[in-house]
Structures are given as structure tokens and as C-alpha cells.
Amino acid sequence: MATLSRQAMKMFLGEQKLCRLATVDRFGQPHVVPVWHILLDGDLYIETSPNSKKGLNLKANPKMALVVDTGDSFDAYKGVMIQGRVEFVKDKKMLARFREAMAQRYFGTSEHPGYKYLVSGGDPLLMKVIPKKVVTWDYSQKK
């Protein structure tokens, strides 16, 4: 099995629109949910509500794992798994950059009603993913 180069990994993360984020609750129970992600300046960011299950889990324990993958047959499987932690971002300018990128990526415009609804929900929890371990795979690259 081939792996992705750093550049190919970043391109792949930029192409895929959904990742699965794993956190652990206070009882040690894993919690896995799909989330959107944005690459800014080479770093991966995610956002959620501070009172969501994933937000509460990450505030109590910032360790997480996520996976972004694709493929519907063995020779097409490709993906990235990241284990690490999140760093909470308080910078309003970074939040504005993230949200503009999110609007363009997922809605095409910040004027879209779905985008406006999403960002109307109070204080967001913006998080930068700090990788500790990264694993990639690309079964389409036969060696």
C-alpha cells in the first residue's frame, strides 16, 4: 500500500468535505461524528457549538482523532487519519477567515440561508487540530 506525500495529503484534505471526528466523553465512551473541516495556512480547523457533545468532550479532554477517507472499492481506498489534540482558537480574525472559507467551500457564498442559519447560533468553538500522529493510505497507487 502506498501512502500520501505531505503535499498530496493536503490536497486530499482540501478536496474532501467531510471528516469523522472521534472524542471521548467523561465516562470514557467514544463519540464519533461527521464534521466539516477547513485548511488554513496548512493547518486543519474545525468548529462546533461549545455545548455540543463533541464540544463538551473536547473542552474536558482535548485529545481527538479524525479520519477523512474516500473510495468504494479496494483499489480506490484513500485516506488520512490524524491523532492528536485540539487547540482552542480565540482570535476573532481567524474565526472570520474560517467562516468565510466555510461559506465558500460548503455554500458558495456567505449569503446562503443555510450558512446564515449555521452562524447565527451564538459563540462558536473554533479549534485547530494539533497532530501527534498522521497515517495516510492510497490503494490506488499500486506498487
CA distance 44 to 24: 20
**Whole-number pLDDT of residue 136:** 94
CA distance 41 to 92: 16
User: Grid coordinates standing for 119?
Assistant: 452562524
Domain map (residue ranges) of the chain: 6-138
Q: What is the pLDDT of residues 37-94, one digit of tens each?
A: 999 999 999 999 889 999 999 999 999 999 999 988 888 899 999 999 999 999 999 9
Question: 53-76 burial string, b = 16+ CB within 10 Å, else e?
Answer: ebbbbbeeeeebbbebbeeeeeee
- The reply to whether the predicted model has a pTM over 0.75 is yes
CATH topology of domain 6-138: Pnp Oxidase; Chain A (2.30.110)
